[in-house]
Every structure is written in C-alpha cells, then in structure tokens.
Amino acid sequence: MISASSTIMAEMLAPNRIEFPHLGFGFNIDPTAFTIFGLDIQWYGIIITLGLILAIIYVFPRMKRFGIDSDRAVDAVIGGVLGGIVGARLYYVAMKWDDYNKGSFGETFKAVINTRNGGLAIYGGIIGAIIVGFVICKIRKVRILPMLDVTVLGLLIGQGIGRWGNFVNQEAFGTNTDLFCGMTGGTIQRTISNATQIGGDLYGTANAEMLWEKPVHPCFLYESLWCLLGFVIIAFLSKRRRYDGQVLLMYMAWYGLERFIVEGLRTDSLMIGNIRVSQALSAIIFVVSVIIQIIMFFRTRRDPESFVLYANTEESRLLIEESRRKAMGIKGADAMLGGGDEIGDLSDDDEDEIGILPDEDEDEIGELPDEDDDDGFFEEYEKKAEDAKEKAEDAVEAVKDKAEDAVEVAKDKAEDAVGAVKDKAEDAVEAVKDKAEDAVEAVNDKAEDAVEAAKDEAEDAVEATKDKAEDAVEAASDEIADKYEDLAEAHDERLSGGSGKGGHNKKKKHQKK
C-alpha cells in the first residue's frame, strides 16, 4: 500500500530541478559545483566569492576619487570581508539557535562554521564588516565615512551577484504567486510541504495555507535586480556628492526600502516573536537615512562652504602622495614630505596637484645606455613610456574631475551670492518704505498740530476783537448820550428862559429810570 506522503513525493520535482512554469522553461542544477579531495565545493560559495572579487575590482581603482589611499585601505577591506563573513554567520545562527544547538560543543561548533549550504544574514555581515573595518581604519589612519562611501558601491555589486547563490540552493523564496516570473523547484516544494505540516516552521502562521504545487516569488531575483540597479544609480550620483557619508546614506535608503518590501514576501524570515527582524530593521534604516539626508540637504544649501569633501583636503593628498612615493622607492623624509615640498618635488614652472609627476632628479624613463648596449633597451624604453602615458592620462582624468567639482562649487556659491544680494535688496527696499511711511505720518501729525494751534489763535483773536468792539460801542453810546443831554439842556434854556430846565430834568430822570 502506498502512503499519501509517498504519492506527494512522487509528484514533486527532483530536488535539483528548477522551473519557471509561466515562462515555460526549467533546468537541473546541483548545488555542489565539484569535489576536491572529498570536499564538496558549493555553487553558493563560488557565487559569493565572485561577487566579492567583482566588488574589489570596482572599488580599489576608485578609492583615490574619494580621497582614500588604497595601500592603507586594503587592510581595512580584508578585515571588513572577514568581519562581514563572521558577522553574517553569527547573526543568522543567533536568530536560529535552536537549529544549531546540537547538545555538545564540538557538534554545535561544526554546525556553526559550516556555511557551504548557506545561512548568512546580510545585516549581520554589514554590522560585522563595519565594526572590524572601523577599527582597522583607525589604526591605518583611513577616514571612515569616505571609506564607507566607496565600499557600499562594491557592496551593491556583491549583493546583486551573491543573491544568485540563494537561487542555486532554492532558498530565500517567497509566498505563492501567479506572476509570470514565479518559480518552483524540487527543494522548494519539499521545503513548503514540510514547513506547513504540524510542527513545521509555517504551521500556525499566516503562510500555513501555502501550496507546494504553486510557484513562489523569486525573492532572490527581486533583490538582485534592485541592488544592481541601485549600483548604477548611486555610482552615477556619487560623482556629485556634496559631503562625506552621502553615498552611504543613499545606500541605506535604497536597500532599506527594497528589503522592507521583499522581506514581507519571504517565508524564511528571521523572527523575534511575531516581528520580522530584517523587515523592522529595514524600516528603521530607511526612515533614519531619509531624515538625515533631508537635514543635510538644507545644511549644505545654507552653508556649503562648511562641507568639504575629504578628497579635496590637504591631508588626503599628502597621504596619497606619501604612498605613491614609497611605491616608487623613495624613503625617509622624501617619502613623507616630498623632498621639502608639500606634495612632492615639482618642476619650477608647474605644480603637480595630484602627485603624478616624478622628481627633477628622477629619470622616470630610465638612464640612457651606453652606445654598445643592445636593442633590449628600446623595448624597456617603450614599456616605461607607455607607463608614463597611462599616468599622464590618470592625471588628466583627476584634473578633469577636480575641475568639474570646482565648477559645481562655484556655481553653488554664485547662486547663494545672488540669493543673498536679492534678500538684502528686498530688506533695503522694505526699510526705505518703512522710513517714508514714518516721515509722512510725522508730517501729517505736525500739520494737524499747526492747524489746531492756528485755529485756537484765530478764535482768541476774534474774541478779543469782539470784546474791544463792545467796549468801543459802549463808550461811544455814553459819549453820545452825554452830548445829547448837554444839547437838550441848552435848547431848553433858550426856549424857556430857565423854566424848561426843570421839565428836561424830569424827562432825563424819567429816562434814567
């Protein structure tokens, strides 16, 4: 009698089979690439290593653009890689300790260090790389922010390539989907079937209803494409960065956003209770990065002169020049100070800003041979001439980059100056307007006071004239009355011969009454 589980297993794809049902193709791939002396070499490790190599190939030639001496930085890179591997593994093991605790120290240790089948967490790798790299940068006198700016570009390459190791192992997949890019595989189907059974990792969760027969989200593909696209965009924007650490912040926002979304699709998330650790951490990283970038945007706009890229500082040029001279075999004080010049002995007429030209007493091409030397000299001469040409091209490229940066800085300063002049002009116009209004108001007040005073004086003058007129009329009336009486008396005397006097007096008395 055939059991139900046996029937299901028979219907599943072979463990090494991967298919894209909606695209109509599939293939077989063994996670083990080959075997050496009985040791299985996994595709996962090969792909991770390939991503690391490509990242290093990209990063090292571009360190000088960020002001970093590659000879000093190589120690930090090596330490960061080792710290990243250890950190990624410890982070993953800590989140899944029950799967690695074998009861004895020996067995547990073997399980922990066995990374050939996967089991690395990117955030643990980033944390470990930063811690170890920071310590070595301090020892080797390498600035941490410019170092992080250039290394995160390589990290995007490594992540974009390394995620294909998850594809070969058929891990880090998502929930069921009907999208055209949905994938499935024998290992994926078995993982879903086991996880959804009683006691499985997905049993009792929101993903317990997953069907092993249906395709799933290829989360590795989403993250790989997102990281490679991010590399192209951020690498382009890095040439226009305004402050050290800006590229790091762009990486944090770019990767944090993607990981927050994709982590919600995955079925193998590292959990603390009901919280997806990587999703919560991604949200925090994204929000913090965006806030810092907004703050830095306004600060650099307000005071751009206070933000100087490390690559444009004298310290950076001196360290790079010192390393270059040591590589050329110059030792002692000449290697440290450039034979008494700040960045090396230069010719009388020209300055060597980036430390490419040789000293006056150095023969970059080589000493001329005696006449009896063989033709081998000319081959060596051509080789050295080619080397000198390459250095000159590097110098031209460096000068071009600095010229572009200088033009950009000058443009920003000009815009700021125009804005400042405009603001001052507006303030001056406003001040003149206020003073004019105050003057008009003062004139109005004085005019009103003058009119009021004139009115009061006019009223006083009218009143005085009125009083004088009344006094004059009264005096004239009295004088006329007296004269009338005198004339009347004289008239009466002439008419009555003295008897009429009494009659007139009576009349006068009567009038007085």
In contact, 87 and 135? CB cutoff 8 Å? no
What's residue 2's pLDDT?
A: 52
Q: Is the same domain home to 49 and 156?
A: yes
Q: Is the same domain home to 229 and 358?
A: no
Domain assignment present for residue 101? The answer is yes
What's residue 353's pLDDT?
A: 39
Domain assignment present for residue 303? The answer is no
Domain that holds residue 107: 31-174+217-244
Domain assignment present for residue 79? The answer is yes
Q: What is the mean pLDDT of residues 491-497?
A: 74
pLDDT digits (tens, 9 = 90+) for 10-34: 789 999 999 999 999 999 999 999 9
What's residue 1's pLDDT?
A: 45
Domain assignment present for residue 500? The answer is no
Domain assignment present for residue 269? The answer is no
In contact, 83 and 132? CB cutoff 8 Å? yes
Domain assignment present for residue 439? The answer is no
Q: Is the same domain home to 232 and 344?
A: no
- Range name among 95-109, 174-188, 302-316, 436-450 with the lowest pLDDT average: 436-450
Domains in the chain: how many in total?
A: 2
What's residue 183's pLDDT?
A: 97
- Range name among 97-106, 185-194, 295-304 with the lowest pLDDT average: 97-106
What's residue 385's pLDDT?
A: 65
pLDDT band at residue 279 under the 50/70/90 scheme: very high
d(CA 268, CA 281): 16
What's residue 474's pLDDT?
A: 82
Domain assignment present for residue 292? The answer is no
Helix pair 144-169, 219-237: axis angle to 10 deg: 160
Question: Over pLDDT 90: what percentage of the chain?
Answer: 48
- Range name among 300-309, 379-388, 472-481 with the lowest pLDDT average: 379-388
Structure-token match 């190589």, residue found:
74
Q: Is the same domain home to 131 and 230?
A: yes
Q: What is the mean pLDDT of residues 66-93?
A: 93
Domain assignment present for residue 513? The answer is no
Evaluated on CA atoms 388, 391, 397, 400, the torsion sign reads negative
Q: Is the same domain home to 103 and 234?
A: yes
Total length of the chain: 513
The residue out of 418, 450, 478 marking a domain boundary is 418
pLDDT digits (tens, 9 = 90+) for 324-383: 888 887 765 555 544 444 434 433 334 443 333 444 444 433 444 444 444 454 566 566
**Got the DSSP string for 348-369?**
SS---TTS-SPPTT--SS-PPP
Q: Is the same domain home to 229 and 327?
A: no
What's residue 354's pLDDT?
A: 36
Tokens of 396: 């031209």
Evaluated on CA atoms 397, 402, 406, 409, the torsion sign reads positive
Q: Is the same domain home to 224 and 115?
A: yes
How far, in Å, are 374, 405, 413 from residue 410 at the CA level? Answer: 55, 9, 5
Q: Is the same domain home to 49 and 157?
A: yes
More confident residue, 490 or 123: 123
Q: What is the mean pLDDT of residues 449-461?
A: 79
**CB-based burial, 89-121: b 16+ in 10 Å, e otherwise:** bbbbbebeeeebeeeeeeeeeeebeebbebbbb
The residue out of 386, 418, 450 marking a domain boundary is 418
Q: Is the same domain home to 382 and 237?
A: no
pLDDT digits (tens, 9 = 90+) for 400-448: 777 777 767 777 777 777 677 677 767 876 876 787 788 768 767 887 8
Q: Is the same domain home to 76 and 156?
A: yes
Q: Is the same domain home to 76 and 168?
A: yes
pLDDT band at residue 8 under the 50/70/90 scheme: confident
Q: What is the mean pLDDT of residues 93-108?
A: 87
pLDDT band at residue 224 under the 50/70/90 scheme: very high
d(CA 405, CA 15): 55
Neighbours of 484 (CB within 10 A): 11
Q: Is the same domain home to 92 and 223?
A: yes
